[in-house]
Amino acid sequence: MPLLSVRDLSTAFETETGLVTVVDHVSFELEAGETIGLVGESGCGKSVTALSIMGLLPRPSGRVKGGDVLFKDENLTRASPERLREVRGNRIAMIFQEPMTALNPVQRIGRQLAETYTLHEPELKSSDVAEKTLGLLEQVGIPAPESRLNDYPHQLSGGMRQRVMIAMALARHPDILIADEPTTALDVTIQAQILELLRELQRDTGMAIIFITHDLGVIAELCSRVVVMYAGRIAEQATVKSLFEHPLHPYTRGLLGSIPRLEDEPKTLLTTIPGIVPGIEELPDGCRFSNRCAYATDQCHREAPSLVAPSPERTVACHRWHEIIAETTRESSS
């Protein structure tokens, strides 16, 4: 049984023009100890999917309107707010792009970390809390952790703040860590260090990770499987290897084409995907990618493609996936 099954999840927001679905029949699974990537441009529904899993949708405008989120064999979409708080505090943790949104700016780091323990284990002696807190900072590679305990968040660099966030998320030994663009605001060197830290922590703790990003390069570094989302729907789902070797969805092909490659000649122009992700109130009929897709036909503008499984390890939602397979086969044999 998978650790987490997201089945046909649909999430909607109340807007001035009525209820708008922003996550539309999304399904994927996560095995224990696995890392999967949720990838797509801003506005594709990745973060809303994560917030739906966590029961953290903004109220009263957002709500899960259909589908299930099964954690082990418990359906979180039917759980009480108390039970969801318990799961969030203990079994599923989340870190965000900007740690300052989650850290209290006027409280010292040590106190914030200690609260993670005192809230859930009030019987712990203060000496044990202090020891565990220090251990957490050491685990996430913060140098001179004793002195850092007395720092306020603003006294730390962006990378150090993200390490503190990760420490807080790890305190309860979660089964799943949802990491929502945790390295996007960091420079490349620090980004590589945080990815390495997540890899090490996963190896040491066995937790599963859902890594949300717009960057397929990061996915290649960390994940075994990837779910590509576009305008609230799944475009393609595959192992990282098959997705990178044979992308089937034109959107995935566009995302991959925009990654610089070492073998490219200097000054080679990167490919870009024309246009932007449509807003939730202006989604086109048929395939939601149709107004940006070089392969679009009349059928694409009329009918939304269903997800089909060209092979056991992948699914794709595109009317023209057969032709794209034929095209990539020709490209790779020429």
Residues contributing to the site for ligand SF4 (CB under 6 A): 249-250, 287, 289-290, 293, 295-296, 300, 305, 318-320
- CB of 187 vs ligand SF4, minimal distance in Å: 34
Closest to ligand SF4 by CB, 137 vs 228, is 228
CB of 296 to ligand SF4, least distance (A): 4
Shortest Å, Cβ 279 to ligand SF4? 18
Least distance CB 228 / ligand SF4 (angstroms): 11
Nearest in space to 325 (alpha carbons), one of 254, 277, 253, 256: 253
- Shortest distance in whole angstroms from residue 17 CB to ligand SF4: 25
Mention every residue, 6+ apart, whose C-beta is less than 8 A from residue 228. Answer: 39, 40, 234, 235, 236, 237, 243, 249, 251, 252, 255
Identify which of residues 40 and 182 has a Cβ nearer to ligand SF4 in the complex: 40
Query: CB under 8 Å to 171, separation ≥6 — which residues?
Result: 113, 116, 117, 132, 136
Smaller CB separation from ligand SF4, 127 or 272: 272
Which residue, 148 or 233, has its beta carbon nearer to ligand SF4?
A: 233
Three-state DSSP state, 105: coil
**Residue 165, both tokens:** 């966030």
Instruction: Convert 282-293 to b/e letters by CB count within 10 Å (16 or more is b).
Output: ebbebbbbbbbb
Task: Work out how close the CB of 79 gets to ligand SF4 at its nearest, in angstroms, rounded to a whole number.
Answer: 36
In the complex with ligand SF4, the residue whose CB is nearer, 17 or 272, is 272
Round to whole Å and give the CA distance between 104 and 89.
17
Q: Residue 4 or 317: which CB sits closer to ligand SF4?
A: 317
Q: Per-residue b/e over 78-111, b at no fewer than 16 CB within 10 Å?
A: ebeeeebeebbeebbbbbbbbbeebbeeeebbbe
